[in-house]
Chain A
Amino acid sequence: MAARVLQQCVRSFAQPSLRLCSSNLALRVTAVQAVAVHRPLSFAADSRRTRWLVQSRIPSVGVLCRQYGDLPPLTLETIKERVMYVLKLYDKINPEKLQTSSHFMKDLGLDSLDQVEIIMAMEDEFGFEIPDAEAEKLMTPEEIVQYIADKKDVYE
C-alpha cells in the first residue's frame, strides 16, 4: 500500500519536473526519485493532493525555456476589449450608445460619482490602482485604454 502510494508520488512529481528544465531531464527525474525514496513520510501526506494535479503531456525536447507563472501579455486590443466589456456591464450605460470616444459626462450622461465607480471597476479589472489625481481626468474609454497601456508598457 505504502509502496503503491510512493510510486504514485514519484510519478506525479516526475511529471511536473519535466516542465522545469528539459535539458537536465534525466538528472532531474533521477534526483526527484532519489529524494522521494528518502523521504516517504512527507510525500505520503501530499499524495492525494498531487494525484489531483493536471498532468498534461509536454513535448519532450520542445520548449527549452523556463515557464514562470504570469498573466498573458497585454495588447492594446485586449485592453480595449476588456474596458468596453466592463463598461457594457455597467447598468447606467446603454451598450448600444457606447463608443471608445464617448465622453462619460457629455455623451453618456453620467455623474462624477459614476465616473469614480467606473475607474474603480477598471482598477479591479486590471489589478492596479489609478491615483485620484489622474483618475479624475479620464473621461472617455479611449483615455482609459491609453492610460492603462501607458502604465503597463504596452507598445508605448
Chain B
Amino acid sequence: MASAYLTHQQKVLRLYKKSLRHLESWCIFRDKYRFYACLLRARFDENKTEKDMVKATMMLKAGEEEFWTNQHPQPYIFPDSPGGTSYERYECYKVPEWVLDHWHPSEKAMYPDYFSKREQWKKLRNQSWEKEVAQLEAETPAVGPKSEALPPARKEGDLPPLWWQFVTRPRERPT
C-alpha cells in the first residue's frame, strides 16, 4: 500500500471480512453460518455498483455502526493473531542472526558449509549497504516515511533496501 490512507474499497472489504468473522462467531453451526453469510453477501452485492461516493461513504458509515452494535463480545480470534492465545508466544525464542557470530569455533565447525557461505553474504551486505542507505535517503520525504513499506530495488543488479533484515529474519515458529 502506497500511502497510509485506506481507499473506500479497502474499507468496504475490511468491513465485509470482520462482519463475516463475527457472524461466524455468532452462528456456530456451519450451515446456519453459510445461510446468513450468503444473505450478508447479497446485501453487499446490491450496493456495490454505487457510483456516488457521498452516498457510498454514508452507507459504509451505516454499515460500520451496524457492525458495532451487532458485534460478538468474544469473537473467534486465531491463535497467532493479535489477541489470540498463541500471539507472540515464541517471540522469546526468535534469536537475531548476529548471535551466530558469537558461536565458539568448535560449534561453528559443526556447520562448515553454512559458515563459509555466511562470510560471502556478509561481504555482499557490506558492499550493498551504502547504496541501500542512499536509496532510502533519496526516496523518503523530508518529514519522515509515510508508511512501513520499503521501496523495491530501482536499478538493475541492486539489492532492495534493508534486505539483510528480511533475509535473516528468524523463523515464525523457532523450535
Contact = CB atoms under 8 A, between A and B. Distances in A.
B39 to A, nearest CB: 14
A85 B66 CA distance: 35
A63 interface: no
A132 B173 contact: no
Interface residues of A, number: 19
A136 B13 contact: yes
Interface residues of B, number: 22
Interface in A122-142: 123, 127-129, 131-133, 135-136
A128 B16 contact: no
Contacts of A151: 172
Contact of B16 (A113, A131, A133, A153): A113
B35 interface: no
A113 B80 contact: no
A53 interface: no
A94 interface: no
Nearest to A151: B172
A112 B80 contact: no
B14 to A, nearest CB: 5
Contacts of B45: 113
Nearest to A126: B78
A128 B80 CA distance: 6
A152 interface: yes
Nearest to A135: B17
Which of B1, B17, B44, B48 lies at the interface centre, i.e. has the most chain A CB atoms within 10 A of its CB? B17
Contact of B173 (A117, A131, A153): A153
Interface in B1-43: 1, 9-10, 13-14, 16-17, 20-21, 41
A112 B16 CA distance: 11
Contacts of A132: 10, 13-14, 17
A131 B84 CA distance: 14
A105 to B, nearest CB: 12
Contacts of B77: 129
Given A128-B78, A151-B172, A153-B171, A116 B1 contact: no
Interface string B75-109: 00111110010000000000000000000000000
Given A113-B44, A131-B81, A153-B171, 4 more contacts: A113-B48, A116-B17, A120-B21, A128-B78
Interface of A: 111-113, 116-117, 119-120, 123, 127-129, 131-133, 135-136, 151-153
